[in-house]
Structure 1
Amino acid sequence: MSFDPDHIEDFLEYPFFIKWVKDPNSQSNQYWEKWISEHPDKRELFLEAQTLAKALRPKENNQVDSAKLRAGLDSLIAKNNERGGQERSTFPGKKKQAFLTIGGSIAASILLAACLLLSYSWFGNKEAAPLAEEAKVLVRSVPAGMKKTFVLPDSTQVTLNADSEIRYSSDFAINRKIHLRGEAFFDVKKDPKHPFTIQSGALTTVVLGTSFGVKAYPAGDFSHVAVLSGLVKVRTDNGIEAELKPDEAGFYEVETGTLRKGSYDYESLLGWKDKVLKFKNASYESLFYELSKWYDVQFIYENGIPEGGDYSGRYQDQSLKNVLDGISYATDLEFTLSGKKVSVRVNSKPNK
């Protein structure tokens, strides 16, 4: 937004601000809510201007009630002096009464507003709309071992994978920005006026209306964005950009900061939302990391994490025991499951 005031006078001379106070509606309320969220450093100035404008309302016949005007100004001055640690001033009316400055521009603004109100009829009979509450951060999370689907205020549907979290502002209808930790699948409600943005680690994903998956766990070496429908733009913190079409994915390597685009296997990247757990040439470290999130268990290694690993396998809606039995059958690893702990040891016998 281009409006960037430095003084209260700037608000009082801004037609759209005056129109909002005079006759608020959903569109103008939305405008000022967004303006406040984008200019948090101007919030106090905004509140001063709104308070002043409301305090100086004229009566129905468009004549200023001088007694109420004087009392309102006196009250405003007193409140500002309490904050500024200055002496309270009085409203000018009798000779030799001083109208002291209040933080410089505030008193000048009050005089300006009083003069303008005496000369013009700014306001009608409606009360000014109250300032919307400051936007709050909302959190939706899913613990390890679970998956859950949420519907956002704009009707976008989000499915969170295990041990994942999203954060977004309470004014999401006009500020469609998500912070993601972990993995999620988004089916975004189309709204050309309000692009949908996801911040996930070093990746920023921007869409208008599409479905896609994003993975960016803090401990992971790789992040990805896999598009199922629509068009997605991905940008890294170091300025690399790529546009992704359906059946394309962007793969980001954390260590090198590189981004590459290519095709992807649906079940490997998005099968989790259909309860499909698929590994392709996975190292043991990444294998156990995925299983720990999926089943909410802790792996304990007798001699450290086994090196190497080149494991491939597919499981659909299987118990942890069945998955561990499958891995054990195909590798030289043995597992002991006890509650939420899994002991891992390397079998000295040759692979089966």
Structure 2
Amino acid sequence: MQNYSGNIEFFTRKLAGELHSEELQSFAEWLAASPENAAEFAEFESIWNGVDSIKHVTRFDTEVAWYRLQKEISEQKTVKKSFRPLLAAAAIIGVLCMSWFSYKLFFTKSAELITVTTAMHNTTDVVLPDSSMVSLYQNSSVSYQPTFETERRIQLQGNAFFDVTHNPQKPFVVEINQVRVQVLGTSFYISHDTISGLISIIVKTGKVAVFTYGKADTAYVTAGERVDVLQAKKLTKSVNTQVNYMSWKTKVFDFKDVPLKTIVAEINAAYFTNIQIQGDELKNCKIHVSFQNKTIDEILEILQVTLDITIHKSTDVIVISGNGC
């Protein structure tokens, strides 16, 4: 597995949305490998999100420096103009490096953020200082101050459901990969696909405001709606049709005319099982079925009766086979 610890250039490319699919996959594996990896990148991301004014000044200084250098070039004819992008990139990366190491040196110990992390195949509920509740999905983390004296600001990595205590005087802000979600008191779900970079916010109750980095794009989302954003760019709002988005927490499923392959995928995500289907015809069988707080064995029994299928269980996998619909 590739080690990205301390790789500031790679972190910068990730936050700028410049990684290709193979790099995103490799980076996602590194993030999931340990809480320390996720925490290291989260620290750098917070620096990146906070240096907008620094980067602006850097661009200005780079232009001045380039103007002076260009003047010398015209006199000495020794340097080519093609170095200009490299100088600008070097200046920005230099500022990020200084910010990164300054943060590590001066703020890591004093910030005293509380961070809760879930491992693979684990979920947990976190009660925040204002009594708001965060339900973390597997391979996720949430960081926050021990008290919310001046603000209610949360840093999220991964997927989580938020049930926020109402407080008009202190907006509740969740930051995730250059996307900001701000509410006063509501409930909503955030998911982040680290491979594609897609972030989705689904509102269960109330209303939320969603901003991309620098407020380049803004969307106001109400109950029953969702907004999707890819690589922290344009926000796309729509009616939410993902009925079972909270099934991993509630263990309540409602499927209406849904292919068996979709049902199995959602069950695997909620119960951390490895159920596989043999045969394309069986995979595409559409059925109506609901489950409420059932065990995985009870769910399999219901599917077996509904579709007349055969189920074979082993240590690592559950195989469903049959003739189809």
Please give the secondary structure, in 2, of the residue aligned with 1:153.
coil
Q: Which residue of the partner structure matches residue 190 of structure 2?
A: 214
- State percent identity of aligned pairs: 19
Following superposition, the deviation at residue 315 of structure 1 comes to 0.5
Q: Distance in 2 between matches of 1:164 and 1:305?
A: 33
Partner AA of 1:159 in structure 2:
S
The alpha-carbon distance between structure 1 residues 213 and 297, as it changes in their structure 2 partners (threshold 3 A), is same
The alpha-carbon distance between structure 1 residues 133 and 223, as it changes in their structure 2 partners (threshold 3 A), is closer
Q: Which residue of the partner structure matches residue 65 of structure 2?
A: none
CA offset digits 1:57-106 (Å, max 9, x no partner): xxxxxxxxxxxxxxxxxxxxxxxxxxxxxxxxxxxxxxxxxxxxxxxxxx
Following superposition, the deviation at residue 333 of structure 1 comes to 5.4
Asked if 1:167 corresponds to 2:142, the answer is yes
Q: Which residue of the partner structure matches residue 326 of structure 1?
A: 302
Q: Distance in 2 between matches of 1:158 and 1:298?
A: 27
After superposition, residues 94-243 of structure 1 pair within 5 angstroms as 133-136=109-112, 138-143=114-119, 147-161=123-137, 163-170=138-145, 173=148, 174=151, 176-182=153-159, 184-192=160-168, 194-200=170-176, 203-218=179-194, 224-235=200-211, 239-243=216-220
* Candidates 280, 292, 298, aligned match of 2:268: 292
Partner AA of 1:244 in structure 2:
V
CA offset digits 1:130-186 (Å, max 9, x no partner): x9942255432345655432111333211234x25222144662461221412x321
RMSD of equivalent CA atoms: 4.4
The alpha-carbon distance between structure 1 residues 299 and 241, as it changes in their structure 2 partners (threshold 3 A), is same
The answer (yes or no) to whether the contact 2:221–2:237 under 8 Å persists in 1 is no
Partner AA of 2:191 in structure 1:
K
Following superposition, the deviation at residue 250 of structure 1 comes to 0.8
Q: Distance in 2 between matches of 1:305 and 1:204?
A: 43
The answer (yes or no) to whether the contact 1:206–1:232 under 8 Å persists in 2 is yes
Partner AA of 2:296 in structure 1:
L
Q: Distance in 1 between matches of 2:168 and 2:200?
A: 24
Q: Distance in 1 between matches of 2:297 and 2:186?
A: 37
Partner AA of 2:141 in structure 1:
I
Query: More helix per residue: 1 or 2?
Result: 2
TM-score, structure 2 normalization: 0.52
Following superposition, the deviation at residue 294 of structure 1 comes to 2.0
Q: Distance in 2 between matches of 1:219 and 1:150?
A: 26
Structure 2 regions of 5+ residues with no counterpart? 1-48, 55-106
CA offset digits 1:178-221 (Å, max 9, x no partner): 21412x32122344454322245675321122222333354689
Partner AA of 1:262 in structure 2:
V
The answer (yes or no) to whether the contact 1:234–1:250 under 8 Å persists in 2 is no
Partner AA of 1:227 in structure 2:
V
Instruction: Flag the structure with larger Rg.
Output: 1
Partner AA of 2:143 in structure 1:
Y
The alpha-carbon distance between structure 1 residues 343 and 138, as it changes in their structure 2 partners (threshold 3 A), is farther
Following superposition, the deviation at residue 291 of structure 1 comes to 1.9
The answer (yes or no) to whether the contact 2:248–2:270 under 8 Å persists in 1 is no
Q: Distance in 1 between matches of 2:212 and 2:259?
A: 26
Asked if 1:276 corresponds to 2:252, the answer is yes
- Give the aligned length: 221
The alpha-carbon distance between structure 1 residues 281 and 142, as it changes in their structure 2 partners (threshold 3 A), is farther
The answer (yes or no) to whether the contact 1:285–1:305 under 8 Å persists in 2 is no
Q: Distance in 1 between matches of 2:260 and 2:196?
A: 14
Please give the secondary structure, in 2, of the residue aligned with 1:268.
coil
The alpha-carbon distance between structure 1 residues 295 and 229, as it changes in their structure 2 partners (threshold 3 A), is closer
Q: Distance in 2 between matches of 1:320 and 1:201?
A: 34
Q: Distance in 2 between matches of 1:336 and 1:282?
A: 23
